[in-house]
Structure 1
Amino acid sequence: MTIGSHLEELYGLPVFTFPGRGDTTELPEADAVAWSIAARTYGDGEGWTQVFARFCSEVDTTRVRALVVGIWDDAFDCGPAGIIEALLDARDRLPALRAVFLGDIVFEECEISWIHQTDVTPLLAGFPQLEEFGVRGGQDLEFPAVRHDALRKLVVETGGMPADVVRGVGASELPALEHLDLWLGTSWYGADSEPADLEPILSGARLPRLRHLALRNSEIQDEVAAAVAAAPVVARLEVLDLSMGTLGDEGATALLGGQPLTHLKKLDLHHNYLSEPLRQRIRETLEPAGVEVDLDQDDADWDEDDDGTVHRYVSVGE
Structure 2
Amino acid sequence: MVGDDNTWFGLQVHDFPGPDDKGRTPLPDADAVAWRVSSDTYDAEESWPEAFARFAAAVDLGKVRALVVGAWEDAYEQGPEEIIRTILDSRARLTSLRALFLGDMESEECEISWITQGDVTPLLDGFPELEAFGVRGGTRLAFPAVTHRRLRTLAVESGGMPAQAVRGIATSDLPALEVLDLWLGTDQYGGDCAIEDVAPILEGSRLPGLRHLGLRNSDIEDAIATAVASAPVVARLDVLDLSMGVLTDEGATALLGGQPLTHLKKLDLHHNYISEPMQRRLRDTLEPAGVVLDLDRGHAEEDEWDGRTWRFVAVGE
TM-score band w.r.t. shorter chain:
over 0.9
Which stretches in structure 1 are left out of the alignment for 5+ residues? none
After superposition, the Cα gap between the structure-2 partners of 1:41 and 1:113, relative to the gap in structure 1 and judged at 3 Å, is closer
1:44–1:177 Cα change, 3 Å: closer
SS in 2 for 1:181: strand
Asked whether the equivalents of residues 6 and 106 of structure 1 are also in contact (C-alpha less than 8 Å), the reply is no
Q: Give 1:305 shift.
A: 2.3
Partner residue of 1:8 out of 6, 9, 32:
6
Determine if contact 2:42/2:73 at 8 Å carries over to the other structure.
no
Matched, 1:209 2:223: no
Residue 261 of structure 1 is matched in structure 2 by 261
User: Do the aligned residues in 2 keep the contact of 1:7 with 1:104 (CA within 8 Å)?
Assistant: no
Change (3 A) 1:282 1:145: same
The 1:95/1:292 distance shift into structure 2, 3 A limit, reads same
The match for 1:29 is 29
In 1: Cα distance, 2:304 partner to 2:172 partner: 41
Quote the sequence identity (%): 64
2:276 matched to which residue of 1?
A: 276
Partner of 2:309: 310
Residue aligned with 2:303, SS: strand
Distance 1:73 1:7, change over 3 A: farther
Q: Match for 1:16: what amino acid?
A: H
Give 3-state SS (helix, strand or coil) of 2:92's partner: helix
Residue identity in the other structure for 1:21: P
- In the TM superposition, residue 306 of structure 1 has moved relative to its aligned partner by 4.8
Q: Output the amino acid matched with 2:67.
A: L
| Cα distance change, pair 44–187 in 1 and its aligned pair in 2 (3 A) | closer
Deviation sequence 1:244-284 (CA, Å, 0-9, x none): 00000000000110000000000000000000010000000
**Within 5 A, what are the aligned runs for 1:106-185?**
106-185=106-185
| C-alpha displacement of 1:299 | 1.4
SS of the aligned residue for 1:301 comes to coil
Aligned AA (2:14): F
SS at match of 1:14: strand
Return the alpha-carbon distance in structure 1 between the equivalents of residues 298 and 129 of structure 2: 40
- Number of equivalenced pairs: 313
Matching residue within 14, 17, 29 for 2:15: 17
- 1:89-123 alpha-carbon deviations (Å, 9 max, x no partner): 00001000000000001111111111100000000
- State the distance in 2 between where 1:144 and 1:268 align: 29
- Verify the 8 A CA contact 2:41 2:74 in the aligned structure 1: no
TM-score normalised to the size of structure 2?
Answer: 0.97
CA deviation vs aligned residue, 1:159-211 (integer Å, no higher than 9, x gap): 00111011000110000000000000000000111111111000111100000
Which aligned runs of 4 or more in structure 1 are off by greater than 6 angstroms? none
- Normalising by structure 1, report the TM-score: 0.96
8 A contact 1:6–1:104 mirrored in 2: no
Q: What is the distance in 1 between the residues matched to 2:63 and 2:296?
A: 41
Shift of 1:301: 2.2
* Residue 287 to residue 11, structure 1, CA distance change in 2 (3 Å): same
Equivalent residue number for residue 67 of structure 1? 67
Distance 2:14 2:80 in 1: 21
Asked if 2 retains the 8 angstrom alpha-carbon contact of 1:148 and 1:173, the reply is yes
Letter in 2 for 1:222: D
Aligned match of 1:297: 297
Q: What does residue 197 of structure 2 align with?
A: 197
Quick one: which amino acid aligns to residue 9 of structure 2?
A: Y
Q: Which residue is equivalent to 2:226? A: 226
Could you tell me how far apart the structure 2 residues matched to 1:314 and 1:198 are?
18
Higher relative contact order (CA 8 A, sep 6+): 1
Q: CA deviation at 1:44?
A: 6.9
Q: Secondary structure at the match of 1:118?
A: coil
The answer to which of 36-45 and 15-24 deviates more is 36-45
Cα distance in 1 for residues equivalent to 2:12 and 2:77: 30
SS at match of 1:316: coil
Distance in 2, matches of 1:214 and 1:85, equals 30
Is 1:76 the equivalent of 2:76? yes
Secondary structure of the equivalent of 1:167? helix
Mind listing any 5+ residue stretches in structure 2 that lack a counterpart?
Answer: none
CA distance in 1, matches of 2:87, 2:37: 11
How far does residue 6 in structure 1 lie from its aligned partner after superposition?
7.8
Deviation, structure 1 residue 40: 3.8
Question: What is the alpha-carbon distance in structure 2 between the residues aligned to residue 18 and residue 104 of structure 1?
Answer: 14
